[in-house]
Amino acid sequence: MGRSAKIWVSLSALAVGAVWLAGCASTGGGESTVRVVDDLEIERYLGTWYELASVPLRAQRGCVGTTATYRLRDDGDIRVYNRCLKGGFDGEVSDITARAWVVDPQQPAKLNVRFFWPFKSSYWVVALDADYRWAAVSGPEREKLWILSRTPCLDAPEFQAIYDDLERRGFPVDELRATPQQDDEGRVCEVTLGPKMAGE
C-alpha cells in the first residue's frame, strides 16, 4: 500500500474527507437520536467541498487544504475523491478515491462509503445550508465530525452559528481542529473557534 493510501485508509473508517449518515446514539447531552438533513438533493451536494474543521484522524496530522470531491458514477453511486497537502500548502499531495452510495432512498442524507473492500463506514449529513454553501457530516455514534464549505473561507459569525448548533445537539465540537485552507489569492483561512481548535 502506498503512502497516500496509508494516509487516507483511516478516513475510510470515518468517512471526507471525504465525507453522509445519521443513526441512533445516546449521549450525555443534546439529541438522543442523531438527526440528518431532510430531503437532501444528491445532485446539489455533488462537487468539491473544503474541510474547515474536523475531529482529526492520526493519519490527517499535518494535512492542510483538505478537500472532498463527489461525482456521480454511471451506475448511480458516487465517486469520492479526498485530497490534502502534507506539511503545508507546498507539500506533497496525499489523495485517495472511494465509492459512496445512499443506503435508503427515503433517507438520502444517509450514505455508506467504501475505500477498501470489505470495509465501509457511514457518512451522514447532519446539517446543511439552504443554498448548499456549507455542511456538517457525522455518523450514528457522533464519534466523527466534519464541517465543510463550498469555499475555503467562511465568515466567523456564520461558522460560530454552525458550531453552536452542533454543540447544542451533542456533537463533539470540543474535539474539533481547524483545517487551514488557502483562497485563490493565496490568503490562508483558518477558523479559530473553540478552546481546542486552530493551532493545537
Q: How would DSSP label each residue in 122-134? A: EEEEEEE-TTSSE
Mean pLDDT of 174-200: 78
Strands 78-86 and 110-114: unpaired
| Angstrom distance (rounded) from CA 195 to CA 151 | 24
pLDDT of 135 reads 99
CATH superfamily of this structure's domain 3-189: Calycin beta-barrel core domain (2.40.128.20)
Confidence band of 133 (pLDDT split at 50, 70, 90): very high
pLDDT of 13 reads 36
Per 3-state DSSP, what percentage of the chain is helix, strand, and coil (rounded to 5)?
20, 35, 50
Mind listing the pLDDT tens digit for each residue in 165-179? Answer: 999 999 999 999 999
16 contacts 121 by C-beta, under 8 angstroms: no
Mind listing the pLDDT tens digit for each residue in 119-128? Answer: 889 999 999 9
Q: Is the pLDDT of residue 151 over 50?
A: yes
